[in-house]
Structure 1
Amino acid sequence: MRNEKFDAIVVGAGMSGNAAAYAMAVRGLKVLQLERGEYPGSKNVQGAILYADALEKIIPDFRDDAPLERHLVEQRFWIMDGTSHTGMHYRSDDFNERTPNRYTIIRAQFDRWFSAKVREAGCIVLCETTATRLIKDWSGNVTGVYTDRAGDTIHADVVVLAEGVTGFLGTRRHLRETPKPDSVALAVKEMHFLPEDIIAERFGLTGDEGCVIEAGGTISRGIPGLGFLYTNKESISIGIGCLVSGLAATMEKPYDVLDAFKHHPSIRPLIAGSEVKEYAAHLIPEGGFTAIPPLFGNGWVVVGDAAQLNNAAHREGSNLAMTSGYLAGRAIADIKDRGGSMVKDNLSLYKRMLDESFVIKDLMKHKDIPRFLHANCQSFFVTYPKLISQAAQCFVRVDGTSKLDKEKATSAAFFKARSGWGLISDAVRLARAWR
């Protein structure tokens, strides 16, 4: 391998890395993919949501053999305080379509399947191998990587950095900055195993139907963050993600936050009697559009989580990762086809393709949401969830108090907590950030 040169080296075998490697290999490029885990997905025991549209553009017939858990027919959004939740549900039989739109998956299984497709396309996949440094020539162009295999060096025309949010190759060579604590969240997750029929009964599901719950409020203890629950065939993925800077400021322990979420009265019955077999923690990019680093340079491109491509406002990550990897692979193959070199000017094609996709358009639309929530976390993760719960309980409780008095009491509680100007200001600023 030391004296062999490749058209491209892909560092990482997650969603973005696999998409990039596949896109180049099917176009006939000589591609090497490096994965530090024992096998692709070995570090990803958790469940996740797969967005079919993004994968369908890469592998149109993926449903024939991909390890899919449940297709999602119901989405629940909960605002929680210590004892209750106020929710909005959307469920539609339209999602019981021939080619469903979203699925739950187990990443360890799915990543291995995706990697097999990459190998079938002609890519060489080398596991248990860590790329330790980028190789640069005398003019500063990236020309390959050093690995931890007895000083092994591997050369290529271009290196695709799909190393995740914690990857150090790009930061070590100052291609991008180390992510700041206020631009990454720490997600802690568990896998709770239950018989398939019990999961179906508890969530009102039939066959391979699935349900997702996403929750915000006091469960994150005043830190910007969200809880989530995904139904798989014979397990439930449950977790909570909180901003790293918030955890550091409050000294909250991530597992304590997750444990409290699991024991919340609205969550506890859903996982009662389950057996916990897996636990994982990993960082998720949360900075949004304003945290995106340089995406290309002489001999390199960066994709997926390493590029901060995650839509925190809509809780989407895997589709952005796959799309960015796929577009990077296509751009590199197009440059190769016309005989171009992997210099910065040519690799700007990747950025142009990404700008024209939904990825950058969506992130740009919500570019102000992360900063707005971080600056107003006490209001939106503590005060409003409590007020909403009190208002809902006041509305449904029948205790001899007149409806007019109840309405006055509810209004007074909101005005006392935020004032009239504060309520108007919060609504206007949130609307502007969302736009």
Structure 2
Amino acid sequence: MSEEEKLDAIVVGAGPAGTAAALTMAKAGLQVALIEKGAKPGSKNVMGGILYTHFLEAVVGESWQQAPLERPIIEEQRWLMTEEAAIRLVGYKNLRNRVHPHSFSVLRARFDAWFAAQAEAAGAFLLPETVVEQLVVENGRVVGVKTPTEELRADVTVVCEGVGLGSKLLERAGLKTPLRANQVAMAVKEVISLDEGLIESRFNCEPGEGASIECYGDATRGLSGFMFIYTNRDTLSVGGGALLSEMSDTRLSRAELAERAPNAILEHFKSHPAIRPLLAGGETVEFLAKMIPEGGHRAIPKLFGDGYVVCGDAAMLSNPVHREGSNLAMESGRLAGETIIHAREKSDFSASSLREYKGKLDQSWIMADMRKYDKAVPLLEHNQRLLGKYPGIMDSALDEFFRVDGVSKWEKQRRISKMVRKEGGLRLIRDSVKAGLSLYRPFRR
């Protein structure tokens, strides 16, 4: 490619981060190539399935109302599960969302194609079925990308290809250290077709409205992660995941590893007595799998350098506590696009110029949240009692509390206290305090 043919920017990955970056730059008149490895945007992309309209509107304006979204999420539930029980920790039906919904269920195959079309309409060049094999680096500067058929060159390359290929591209270029198994989760998901009326009756929804259920504990066989059900128009998104390090622990037997395989965990969840009736009669129409970032703030790589920036999952931007990923992706993509627009105005695409992107992130809610929950996943990883032993104690205590069997309430209170002490009451309290501090630290660091 000659100097005259060089683009202003190349964006690798047409997911929420990459498309947000490409659209932001294209609207400002930059020549942008948006590269997607799938046959079309969305064909290779996976996420649980909740999208937040605030961040979509920041990129496309009022056009967000034409996006192919599924159902507004009116009710949120969080369950803590044992083999024989489902403890509903949170059940929140927010009726305000009927008028001003802030989140929707979404199917990426539909949404990503629409979102990328908005970038194309703004002037971005979409290149589907194109695999980026490596970043082209000359004299320490990223100058473009190499595909199986050609090299494409640009002033800036935006890496948004997720925690898998995106991380590998950076690693091959010497711009990032390899990920550790405890910094990513292996997630799987099925899309299960079900009659709209059945969805609404089973999940207590009004016509057109939706709900989300997220489950911990036995849902993942006690592993660090969670499972979910999100209601779409005429399908359910059912899936979840856990830390890759726990799924592939070499200290375990072959049989134990088989039980921890992603497919096995999903089938275990689907067969739970509290979940099975919700899915009854449904037919699996799609199966997807993906690695997602779980490393927290400490795992974030260098996000900029001479001729490149990193966004979304490739930047390890994910908040598993609040199941947030697409919003961090879109916002980071938008901020990267704004940074590159400014860099073009200065004709300076050096690391010192693109540092502005990191500054924007640091001043935003993104890094505030990443710092706040930095210790959440390590807490679960190193204290599996929280999702294994303690739900069982709670289940037994609640069984005693609610059972009417001729035993006085004083005696029940004594039995519950004895049960908690026997199972390590002081340790339970100590672990609960640690969990609370890791999730709801009152002071900003």
Q: Settle same-fold status: TM greater than 0.5.
A: yes
* Alignment correspondent of 2:228: 228
Structure 2 residue identity aligned to 1:230? Y
Verify: 1:73 aligned to 2:74, yes or no. yes
**CA offset at residue 47 of structure 1?**
5.3
Residues 73-117 of structure 1, C-alpha deviations (whole Å, 9 max, x = no match): 0000000000111102000211111x3100001100000000100
Verify: 1:270 aligned to 2:278, yes or no. yes
Give the match's secondary structure for 2:84.
coil
8 Å Cα contact 2:46/2:290 also seen in 1: no
* Alignment correspondent of 1:20: 21
The TM-score normalised by the length of structure 2 is 0.94
CA distance in 2, matches of 1:46, 1:298: 31
Deviates more, 1:225-234 or 1:165-174: 165-174
**CA offset at residue 178 of structure 1?**
2.1
**CA offset at residue 404 of structure 1?**
1.4
Give the aligned CA root-mean-square deviation in angstroms. 1.3
**CA offset at residue 2 of structure 1?**
7.0
CA distance in 1, matches of 2:131, 2:60: 28
Q: Could you list the runs of 5+ residues in structure 1 that have no partner in the other structure?
A: none
* Alignment correspondent of 2:324: 316
Equivalent of residue 302 in structure 1, options 303, 306, 310 = 310
What are the equivalent positions in structure 2 for 1:30-109 lying under 5 Å apart? 30-44=31-45, 48-87=49-88, 88-97=90-99, 99-109=100-110
Structure 1 residue identity aligned to 2:358? K
Verify: 1:215 aligned to 2:218, yes or no. no
Give the match's secondary structure for 1:236.
strand
CA distance in 2, matches of 1:355, 1:140: 25
**CA offset at residue 156 of structure 1?**
0.5
* Alignment correspondent of 1:328: 336
CA distance in 2, matches of 1:164, 1:380: 29
Structure 2 residue identity aligned to 1:255? N
What are the equivalent positions in structure 2 for 1:229-378 lying under 5 Å apart? 229-249=229-249, 250=252, 251=257, 252-337=260-345, 339-377=346-384
What are the equivalent positions in structure 2 for 1:416-435 lying under 5 Å apart? 416-420=422-426, 422-434=427-439, 435=441
CA distance in 2, matches of 1:326, 1:343: 19
8 Å Cα contact 2:46/2:289 also seen in 1: no
The TM-score normalised by the length of structure 1 is 0.96
* Alignment correspondent of 2:159: 161
Give the match's secondary structure for 1:287.
coil
* Alignment correspondent of 1:146: 146
**CA offset at residue 62 of structure 1?**
3.0
Deviates more, 1:411-420 or 1:110-119: 411-420
**CA offset at residue 207 of structure 1?**
2.3
8 Å Cα contact 1:14/1:41 also seen in 2: yes
8 Å Cα contact 2:386/2:431 also seen in 1: no
CA distance in 1, matches of 2:121, 2:2: 23
Verify: 1:395 aligned to 2:401, yes or no. yes
Residues 312-362 of structure 1, C-alpha deviations (whole Å, 9 max, x = no match): 11111100011111100111101212x231100010100000111111010
8 Å Cα contact 1:191/1:279 also seen in 2: yes
* Alignment correspondent of 2:175: 175
User: Do the aligned partners of residues 45 and 363 (structure 1) sit closer, same or farther apart at CA in structure 2, a change above 3 Å counting?
Assistant: closer
Give the match's secondary structure for 1:309.
coil
8 Å Cα contact 2:137/2:173 also seen in 1: no
CA distance in 1, matches of 2:132, 2:94: 46
Residues 142-186 of structure 1, C-alpha deviations (whole Å, 9 max, x = no match): 11111112xx11110010000100022111112112221101001
**CA offset at residue 423 of structure 1?**
2.5
Verify: 1:409 aligned to 2:407, yes or no. no
**CA offset at residue 130 of structure 1?**
1.0
* Alignment correspondent of 1:381: 387
Deviates more, 1:80-89 or 1:407-416: 407-416
Structure 1 residue identity aligned to 2:184? V
Structure 2 residue identity aligned to 1:307? A
**CA offset at residue 33 of structure 1?**
1.1
8 Å Cα contact 1:188/1:255 also seen in 2: yes
Structure 2 residue identity aligned to 1:205? C
CA distance in 2, matches of 1:346, 1:48: 35
Q: Could you list the runs of 5+ residues in structure 2 that have no partner in the other structure?
A: none
Give the match's secondary structure for 1:159.
strand
> Across the two proteins, how many residue pairs are aligned to each other?
428
8 Å Cα contact 1:47/1:107 also seen in 2: no
CA distance in 1, matches of 2:19, 2:237: 23
8 Å Cα contact 1:45/1:279 also seen in 2: no
**CA offset at residue 46 of structure 1?**
6.1
CA distance in 1, matches of 2:201, 2:96: 21
**CA offset at residue 23 of structure 1?**
0.8
Structure 1 residue identity aligned to 2:14? A
Give the match's secondary structure for 1:408.
helix
Give the match's secondary structure for 1:214.
strand
**CA offset at residue 131 of structure 1?**
1.2
**CA offset at residue 45 of structure 1?**
6.2
CA distance in 1, matches of 2:339, 2:153: 20
**CA offset at residue 418 of structure 1?**
2.2
